[in-house]
Chain A
Amino acid sequence: MSEPITYKTLERAAKQHTGTPISVAVLGNAATQRLSRAFAGALSLSGFDVTCFDAGYDQIDAQILDTDSELYRADPAYILLFLCAEKLLDAFRTTPTAERPLFAEHMADRIRSYLALIESRLRATVFLCDIPAHDDGVFGDYAYSQPMSFPYQMRKLNFLLSETAAADKHLRIVPLSLIMAQHGNTARDERMYLAARMAISDSVTADLALRVAREISILRGAIKKAVILDLDNTLWGGVIGDDGPDGIALGELGEGRAFTAMQSWLKELRMRGIILAVCSKNEEEAARLPFTSHPDMILRTDDISVFCANWNDKASNIAAIQKTLNIGFDSMVFLDDNPFEREQVKAVHPTVTVPELPEDPAMRLPYLLSLNLFGTSSYSDDDANRTAQYIAEAARVKSAQSFADYGEYLKSLQMQAEVTPFVPYWYERIAELSQRSNQFNLRTLRMTAADVEHYASNEDYITLAFTLADKFGSHGLISVVLLKRIPEGWFIENWFMSCRVLKRGMEDFILGTLIEKTGGALYGEYIPTKKNALVASLLDSLGFEMYEIDETGKKQYVLPAGCAAKPTHIKGTAPDPGQNA
């Protein structure tokens, strides 16, 4: 297991300035200089060239209320807001007794009004730390049943802040209280608070900074999409080929509960939208047997999107799984109890995440949970249906093999596309697809749900969300285009598409829609990234003319007058009114 990253490491990293430029700010009611340094360092380790504005000790009011403050001039994309319990306790103590039961409500109102001010001036996401447990020792344990007490009001405040975040897409709650609990007695140092108003220790500061930096990477698309699972001694105890279905440890047998607990967690991840695949050295028939017939198996055949059981090496099988799923290696996690297999996979696919599973099955799930690998920044019911979509995809692949002519096959799919502007139903889904799409993404501009909402109500943009269905089932939302008004016509500000629907004619269908909406005065740009070579020639192939290319590979395009989209086998349909309500 790797060593934890310390505050000192982050402080050093903060001095590095390479990578993607990013502007952030830290505001707090305690001393935040060290948090700012650690935050800059953590972002620097994630590949950002950081400009970090630190507001200084207890400057929240001044920076947010003053319309010409350094905060607004710094124009940060992310703001880390840190409220320490000690200062809230000072405020609580100066609150008249009669008003104390309303302390949390009033504080939440104040924070909401600050957020509204920030949102009116900046397009920033605010990361607000929750309030760590802080017992003021006045009511004893009765405090937790008594609204007059400070601990009761802090619990309520934390709940109100989460409730605010659930309704406000610009706000994210950071579980500082969880980090503090993980650090136990070393989470804070009373001397440091008294001497320097430092409310959290360096180790907590480092973990907090790393955690928020990770959330920012997730907002910008660095998410895990699939878990690839070994079977013997990973999903169950023992070897199915030797021990048979009655002999493997699951449920009450042997160490079975540890494996059952792991499966239950994987099942929850699957229901959250993480794809599960199997990669096992086994005879396929034997490997499948527990999934269909073992009464203690939590994972069943229809939880697994790709089932790969053979005697090939695992790296080759993972390459095959990657091809079927069409997602990046860096979005995959590989779980295997065998260090030899892990090393082989790591050597061939260095970007696959390969946790060093503890030998004791009982310790594996706690270890995996501590890695916090499966962060996300949105959730919709499309996620829950993802496994079914991939299984339908496997059926399509089989069906395609039976047609001699690809055009005939496309025709047989009876594809129906639907196009709608950005409406509230789609906000979260569009944000999600924006974060997931790396390959088919012309400019790789990520959108949060708040951004989506902003574009939806702005007349300088044409917003288009595309869904696709065929006789095998619905793909859900598969592509998004954002057109920006420019003097010459319309510029393709953003276009991304799910790779699930490549080679269906969807690009041509979308171009047809764009021409219809704009009369054909269309301009576009391709910004190369490490991952989007797939669309490097997309605009050329659609009939656009490139008129400029710079040294970074950025290409500028214009659609020649009179250019039309190629015909497709996709039928456009009117939107389902239920989704636009």
Chain B
Amino acid sequence: MTREAVIEKLNEIFRDVFDDESIEVTDEMTAEDIEDWDSLTHLTMISEVESAFGMRFKMKDISTMKNVGEMIAIICASTN
């Protein structure tokens, strides 16, 4: 899966989970940038991403991913 395709899919998931149609994910984006992104919605987002891409994050990834860019890298690594 190309990086662009991953980003496109993530946009859909983020808009749905965080209830904001204007979201455009970027590598630098963090929970600070999105109003509804708290510790609870974080877990919803994780499980939505996992089922959308058919992959699983490691526990370490769930708690230490710093920004969306790191998440995209993990998704790309696990789906290629």
Contact = CB atoms under 8 A, between A and B. Distances in A.
A8 B17 CA distance: 8
Interface string B42-59: 011001000000000111
- CB-based closest 9 A-B pairs: A191-B59, A195-B62, A195-B63, A33-B40, A194-B59, A195-B59, A196-B43, A191-B62, A34-B40
Interface string A339-355: 00000000000000000
B22 interface: no
A497 to B, nearest CB: 48
Select the residue from B40, B43, B47, B59 with max chain A CB neighbours within 10 A.
B43
A7 B59 CA distance: 22
B2 interface: no
A260 to B, nearest CB: 41
5 contacts: A8-B44, A11-B44, A195-B43, A195-B63, A202-B47
A192 B40 CA distance: 11
A33 B58 CA distance: 23
A198 interface: yes
A18 B47 CA distance: 30
B39 interface: yes
- What band does the interface of chain A fall in when counting residues whose beta carbon is under 8 Å from B? 10 to 19
Contacts of B40: 33-34, 37
SS class, residues of chain A in contact with chain B: helix
A190 B57 CA distance: 12
A7 B47 CA distance: 11
A549 to B, nearest CB: 44
A191 B56 CA distance: 10
Interface residues of B, number: 10
A283 B43 CA distance: 60
Nearest to A189: B47
B39 A196 contact: yes
Interface in A69-100: none
A198 B44 contact: no
Nearest to B39: A196
Contacts of A191: 57-59, 62
B62 to A, nearest CB: 5
Interface in A1-17: 7-8, 11
A192 B43 contact: yes
Nearest to A196: B43
A37 B59 CA distance: 24
Contacts of B47: 202
Interface in A191-211: 191-192, 194-196, 198, 202
Contacts of A11: 44
Interface in A353-406: none
Nearest to B47: A202
Contacts of B39: 196
Contacts of A198: 43
B22 to A, nearest CB: 19
A196 B59 CA distance: 10
Contacts of A192: 43
Nearest to B38: A33
A8 to B, nearest CB: 7
A198 B42 CA distance: 13
A251 B79 CA distance: 54
Select the residue from A7, A34, A195 with max chain B CB neighbours within 10 A.
A195
A37 B62 CA distance: 22
B38 to A, nearest CB: 9
A194 B59 CA distance: 8
A192 B39 CA distance: 12
Nearest to B42: A196
Nearest to A190: B59
A202 B40 CA distance: 11
B71 to A, nearest CB: 15
Contacts of A33: 40
Contacts of B43: 34, 192, 195-196, 198
A7 B63 CA distance: 22
Nearest to B62: A195
Contacts of B59: 190-191, 194-195
